[in-house]
C-alpha cells in the first residue's frame, strides 16, 4: 500500500509539474497579449492626438493666411472698386471679386443706380459663393480655382450686404457691401 501511495504521489508530481509548465506558458502569452493591447491603445491615442494637432494647425494656418498682406504693404482692409467696361456695353459694369479663407477682395463695391452689373467671382481657396439677398443675386457654389458669374441690374439705390452662404463663413466675416449710388 505504501508503494501505491508513493506511485500516486509520483504520478501527481509530474501532473503538477505539467500544470505549472502550462501556467508558465500561458503567462508569457498573457503578457504578450497585454503588451499588444497596450501598444494598440497607445498608438490609437497618439494617432488621434496627431490628427487633432494637424487639424488645429490647418485651421490656424488658414487664419494666419487671412491675416497676411497680399501684394502691397499699403493695402487697407476696406477696398473700393469702381470699374466700368465700355467694350461690351456702356451700361455693363464688370466687377472682379476674389474670395478665399473668409474674405472677399474687394469687400466694398460701388455701382451706379440703373447699371447692369456682372460680378465675376474667382475662388482662391475652399468652397464659396456670393449672395446678395435683397437683390436676389447668387452665384453657383465654387471650389478652389473655379470662377462663377452673375449679372443683375442695380435698380434701387442703397447699401446691400453680400456674403458667402457656405456653412458659417458669413459669421466668420466673409462678407462685404455693395453700394448702389
| Most confident listed range (10-24, 72-86, 145-159) | 145-159
Contacts of residue 6, Cβ cutoff 8 Å, sequence gap at least 6:
none
Q: Are residues 13 and 34 in the same domain?
A: yes
pLDDT band for position 44 (50/70/90)? confident
Contacts of residue 152, Cβ cutoff 8 Å, sequence gap at least 6:
116, 117, 132, 135, 136, 137
Nearest one of 116, 164, 172 to 143, comparing CA atoms: 164
Q: Are residues 112 and 53 in the same domain?
A: no
- Give residue 58's domain range: 1-68
pLDDT of residue 67: 42
> Cell triple for residue 166?
457656405
Asked whether residue 107 carries a pLDDT value surpassing 90, the answer given is yes
pLDDT tens-place string over residues 126-163: 999 999 999 999 999 999 999 999 999 999 999 999 99
The whole model's pTM is what? 0.52
Asked whether residue 170 is assigned to any structural domain, the reply reads: yes
Asked whether residue 31 carries a pLDDT value surpassing 60, the answer given is yes
DSSP helix/strand/coil, 142: strand
Amino acid at each position: 500500500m505504501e508503494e501505491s501511495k508513493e506511485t500516486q504521489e509520483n504520478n501527481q508530481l509530474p501532473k503538477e509539474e505539467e500544470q505549472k509548465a502550462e501556467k508558465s506558458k500561458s503567462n508569457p502569452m498573457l503578457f504578450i497579449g497585454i503588451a499588444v493591447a497596450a501598444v494598440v491603445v497607445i498608438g490609437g491615442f497618439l494617432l488621434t492626438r496627431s490628427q487633432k494637432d494637424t487639424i488645429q494647425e490647418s485651421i490656424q494656418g488658414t487664419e494666419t493666411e487671412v491675416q497676411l498682406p497680399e501684394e502691397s504693404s499699403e493695402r487697407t482692409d476696406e477696398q473700393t472698386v469702381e470699374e466700368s467696361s465700355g467694350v461690351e456695353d456702356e451700361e455693363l459694369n464688370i466687377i472682379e471679386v476674389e474670395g478665399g479663407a473668409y474674405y472677399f477682395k474687394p469687400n466694398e463695391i460701388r455701382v451706379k443706380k440703373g447699371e447692369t452689373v456682372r460680378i465675376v467671382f474667382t475662388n482662391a481657396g475652399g468652397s464659396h459663393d456670393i449672395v446678395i439677398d435683397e437683390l436676389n443675386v447668387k452665384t453657383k457654389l465654387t471650389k478652389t480655382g473655379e470662377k462663377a458669374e452673375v449679372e443683375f441690374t442695380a435698380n434701387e439705390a442703397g447699401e446691400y450686404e453680400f456674403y458667402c452662404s457656405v456653412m458659417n463663413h458669413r459669421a466668420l466675416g466673409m462678407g462685404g457691401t455693395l453700394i448702389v449710388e
